[in-house]
């Protein structure tokens, strides 16, 4: 059975994706090819990951038709603006070896220089993406790491509401305000780092629930996201863990356990925040 979410524009998207961040070294293509063998058809990449060529090659060499894949890429924060976004998009298509994308995102709402004016840059970037969408070059457009004030800037000044907002989301860091705001607008939230970091994996409550439901801690994290209406994008280089991370539809976390997970103190934050300088990650 194929599990999907339906975006606000009617496009179906596989309910668990494969995060390709850090799959950029010599093993990157092998890892992505293995993910495809394990059943992943939703692949999340970005120009900043430096692995679009590896993703494209893995897709082509899989022998599976392109239309069976859902491929996402993103315009990097140093390329914000109308013309640079158009160029970045075409570069991504060329590297991926495809003539369309399923989803294209603004990777971060602000350039690396946090003192720079971001509002106009985002609007110009979004206008370029709207044109690509209307031209059929991309099936859906969205954003990543956008908080409510970033989203409001777009919605007040452009014509299309983003259909996706990709956020850091995992037990111990659920960004409730940003998730609730997005979901009220019909924006599908995707979770990058849905399993968190070492501190999340070692959290006693996660271990307790993994034992209770007879699954892995990672499966608890991924199922938690799904039950929150959030689409998880787990990463792994292990075939066994890849397989486990897709096998999350045979159990349901009970309401009380969901509430316990939702109310964990903050743990495992990456240190990334769109309006702040990066700080050391929380384990």
Assign 42 to helix, strand or coil: strand
| Residue 49 falls in the annotated catalytic set | yes
- From the list 162, 176, 191, 158, the residue with the least C-alpha distance to 103 is 162
Longest dimension (CA), the chain: 53
Contact 38, 12 (CB under 8 A): no
Residues pairing with 231 in the sheet: 190
Task: State the alpha helices, DSSP H only, in 117-203.
Answer: 119-134, 148-157, 176-184, 198-201
Task: Select which of 40, 49, 104, 173 is catalytic.
Answer: 49
What Rg, from alpha-carbon coordinates, does the chain have? 18
Alpha-carbon span 56 to 3, nearest angstrom: 23
Active-site residue list:
49
């Amino acid at each position: 059975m194929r599990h999907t979410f339906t975006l606000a524009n009617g496009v179906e998207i596989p309910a668990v994706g494969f995060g390709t961040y850090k799959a950029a070294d010599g093993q990157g293509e092998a890892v992505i090819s293995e993910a495809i063998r394990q059943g992943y058809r939703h692949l999340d990449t970005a120009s900043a990951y430096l692995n679009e060529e590896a993703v494209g090659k893995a897709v082509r060499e899989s022998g599976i038709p392109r239309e069976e894949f859902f491929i996402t890429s993103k315009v990097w924060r140093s390329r914000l603006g109308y013309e640079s976004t158009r160029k970045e998009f075409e570069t991504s298509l060329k590297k991926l070896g495809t003539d369309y994308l399923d989803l294209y995102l603004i990777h971060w709402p602000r350039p690396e220089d946090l003192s720079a004016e971001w509002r106009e840059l985002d609007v110009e970037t979004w206008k370029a993406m709207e044109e690509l969408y209307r031209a059929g070059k991309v099936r859906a457009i969205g954003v990543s790491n956008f908080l409510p004030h970033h989203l409001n800037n777009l919605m007040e000044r452009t014509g299309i509401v983003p259909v996706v907002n990709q956020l850091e989301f995992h037990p111990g860091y659920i960004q409730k305000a940003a998730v609730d705001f997005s979901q009220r607008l019909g924006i599908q939230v995707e979770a990058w780092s849905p399993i968190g970091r070492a501190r999340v994996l070692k959290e006693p409550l996660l271990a307790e629930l993994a034992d209770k439901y007879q699954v892995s801690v990672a499966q608890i994290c991924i199922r938690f996201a799904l039950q929150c209406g959030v689409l998880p994008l787990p990463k792994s280089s292990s075939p066994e863990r890849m397989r486990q991370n897709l096998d999350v539809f045979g159990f349901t976390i009970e309401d009380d356990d969901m509430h316990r997970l939702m109310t964990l103190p903050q743990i495992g934050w990456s240190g990334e925040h769109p309006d702040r300088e990066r700080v050391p990650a929380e384990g």
